[in-house]
Amino acid sequence: MPQWSDFGNIFSTLREIDVSAIRDEAERPVVISCIGHNSALDAIDRLLHQGHQRYNPEGPDPLELVPLARATERAASLQSVDLLILAVDTRTPLSQAEVASFNRIDALNVPFIVALLYGEQFPAGDALISPTLRSRSVAILDPQALDAADRLATAILARLPSELHMASARHLPGLRAIYARDLIGSVSFTNATYSLASGLPEQIPLINVPFAAADILVLTKNQALLVYRLALAYGAAPDFQARIREVLPVVGGAFLWRQAARSLIGLIPVWGLLPKVAVAYAGTYTTGVAAWRWYESGDLVSTDQLKRISREAIQIGRKRAAELIDRARASRTALTTNDNATGVVGRLKRLNPFRRKSRELPPL
């Protein structure tokens, strides 16, 4: 059985991780063209560039601002952009020519959104606006509101190709919070799913939560890559070892897994998959949030803050674990139903006493 003292070699293993693909992804060129009224362009520019700036990443600014008066001369090159933003000041009427130009966006093979500033509807000429433009619009009533940047970022990341999210966040601070939130949730879910799939019988000595050393290695690697992606998204230099050393006090694998495990004491004596999957989610979530705060502000979370984050994480983790286990059991039921339909061969297989019961899930 693995001991916690054996897990120190995890960090030597981390030195062998190849992060070149992630580094290349962060340095990919991105072009986001924003066409619209001058006042709307100013608001979009401010929302996408405001935020924490601890680092100064190299590379060009992805955002290109194009006033409506210059839209015609830029029309030919719009096919090559990665995302097009139509920025409309709803207080300013649109001419028929502008409405026609906007509607031609439908014909372009380019992802786009429409940002409506200072209102919820297009100005005069709304009836002539295509349904597609209306369906892809995000209303930002007050660009100074606390949630304005997040609303815009959510809309942009929903339309921008996913492989460009990190590179865009690296140069546009207004995208970082939403990118970080989505990334932490995604990696936490991935680790929880892996934990469910592995189903290994080894036990953590602390409170007998099901985990094996192989599990810890895979989960911690995923955590390290999560930390690295967050660092690059916040503009840090792409030195993997330096980034991990920066947050080592809060991403030490043993500490966070123990912290998450202690929060599960209330589940005892409920054993099985639920604690294991919940810990996998919570440990990853806690690591992500702690690293996020560090790269955003340069502040290490305190022990009390880490405990609070861990408690919140385990609550979310238990819900996600229950959802995953329910899905797995539903899939198993469907698989069994299909197996029943295979006739005699299926029945013989089920009667075979030497058949491995690999699809059975341990009881909760």
Where b means 16+ CB within 10 Å and e means fewer, 52-76 reads eeeeebeeeebbbbbebeebeeeee
pLDDT at position 334 over 60 = yes
* Res. 22 pLDDT band, cuts 50 70 90: very high
Over range 217-221, report the average pLDDT: 79
pLDDT above 90 as % of the chain: 34
What pLDDT, on the 0 to 100 scale, is given for residue 252?
Answer: 54
**C-alpha distance from residue 18 to each of 14, 48, 51, 163, 239 (Å):** 9, 31, 30, 18, 12
Phi/psi zone of residue 327: left (φ > 0), alpha (ψ -120 to 50 degrees), beta?
Answer: alpha
* Rounded average pLDDT over 336-352: 47
What is each CA distance from 293 to 176, 250, 341, in whole angstroms? 12, 11, 53
Least confident of 6-10, 29-33, 152-156, 245-249: 6-10
Please, what are the domains in the chain? 4-22+175-326 (no CATH), 31-81+83-159 (3.40.50.300)
What gap in Å lies between CA 117 and CA 44, rounded to an integer?
A: 9
Q: What is the pLDDT of residue 15?
A: 60
Give the whole-angstrom CA distance, residue 158 versus residue 154.
6
Q: Cα–Cα distance between 253 and 279 in angstroms, integer?
A: 12
